[in-house]
Chains A and B, each alone.
Chain A
Amino acid sequence: AQSVAQPEDQVNVAEGNPLTVKCTYSVSGNPYLFWYVQYPNRGLQFLLKYITGDNLVKGSYGFEAEFNKSQTSFHLKKPSALVSDSALYFCAVRDEGSGNTGKLIFGQGTTLQVKP
């Protein structure tokens, strides 16, 4: 069965410092991996995805993520955090074998708090 784990409920970081939001996954085949962000009372916004290719994926708003197959991880990173990055972040996975379908398995989410 597919699953996603975000081990931290909350990550606190000072503005200007680098940030990392962790994600590990489990799928039977090759993973399609995604990061989304959600601001209060809003829908989810797509940040980036890994399908194949380079392990370092660059996305929106200066975010990037590193795919590590041996550790089954897909951690979200940003070199310098902004207060406006404070939000709820979701990692999601889809098994390659399921094709381009709309069924993603989401992690429980990590609240990122960036303090001035």
Chain B
Amino acid sequence: KAGVTQTPRYLIKTRGQQVTLSCSPISGHRSVSWYQQTPGQGLQFLFEYFSETQRNKGNFPGRFSGRQFSNSRSEMNVSTLELGDSALYLCASSAIKTGELFFGEGSRLTVL
């Protein structure tokens, strides 16, 4: 069974640009969550999507947005990038019954 797939794995952007990250969940998983990981703040929850609807949202500015498609694939977008957005962005999917999250390898974003 294929795991969670995130693309791209690495990317470099400059301040003011925008970026879109993609996540394909484990087959059959309908919940997709996004986390930001930085050395200073650790792992912080961004948002969760279930059946194309945002079910939970963390404390991030509106520049951070996401969506989920009918095949459960998800994208997150960050507009007007700031230096502080440099981080590892992790996507996780989960099955309803078991509850644990399965993470992808992450997308490492560097903002210059």
Contacts and interface: CB of A to CB of B under 8 A. Distances in A.
Interface of A: 32, 34, 36, 41-46, 49, 51, 90, 94, 100-109
Contacts, number: 63
B90 A44 contact: yes
Given A101-B31, A102-B31, A102-B32, A43 B99 contact: no
Interface residues of B, number: 28
A100 B42 contact: no
- Interface of chain B, main secondary structure: strand
Interface in B16-43: 31-33, 42-43
A41 B108 CA distance: 9
Contacts of A34: 100-101
Given A43-B104, A101-B31, A102-B33, A94 B43 contact: no
B103 A94 contact: no
Given A102-B56, A102-B94, A102-B101, 6 more contacts: A42-B106, A46-B100, A100-B96, A100-B97, A100-B99, A103-B45
